[in-house]
Structures are given as C-alpha cells and as structure tokens.
Amino acid sequence: MDVHFQWGTSIFRLLVDPKEVTNGADLRRLRHEHGITLTQVASALGTTTSKVSNIERSIYHDTNFTERYLAWLNEAGFSGAEKAA
C-alpha cells in the first residue's frame, strides 16, 4: 500500500474522529498529587523511569503509552485521572 495513501487515511480519520490527547504535564501532576513515584509507574506499565519522565516532560510522544498510563491511573482509582483525558 502506498505510504501517501496511508498518511492520507490516518489524517482523514483524525479529522473525522479526533481523539483528545492527554498532556504529559497532566499525567505528571496527577502522579505527584497521588504520591506515585516514577518507579511505580514504570514498573506497572513495564517500561523505564526514563521513558515515563520523557513522556511527562513532553520530550517524547507516544500516544499508545500515554493512553495506557491514563488507563492505569483510572483503574487504580486515582481521582481526577478521567479529567486529564
């Protein structure tokens, strides 16, 4: 399949059905508010503290990881997590 076609399809989907993007700073704020360490997040999500920190500081962007992070906060019952979405 042509790369340009794939990009066009992806862009069209985002225009037709935009998804809210959680800001890394929101995730960091929630983590701090609930006394959760980078190590706890990294362990729960199977990644490194460096990746979590980079996501929170918006140095690195990974929508799938950010969605998993937010879902983990929601499942763990940390109030306010649903508002970050």
Query: For 19-46, how does the pLDDT look when each residue is reduced to its tens digit (9 = 90+)?
Result: 565 788 899 998 998 899 999 999 999 9
pTM: 0.68
Average pLDDT on 3-31 reads 75
| Per-residue tokens: 9 | 């399809």
Question: Which pLDDT score is estimated for 78?
Answer: 75
Q: Is pLDDT above 80 for 58?
A: yes
Average pLDDT on 62-70 reads 90
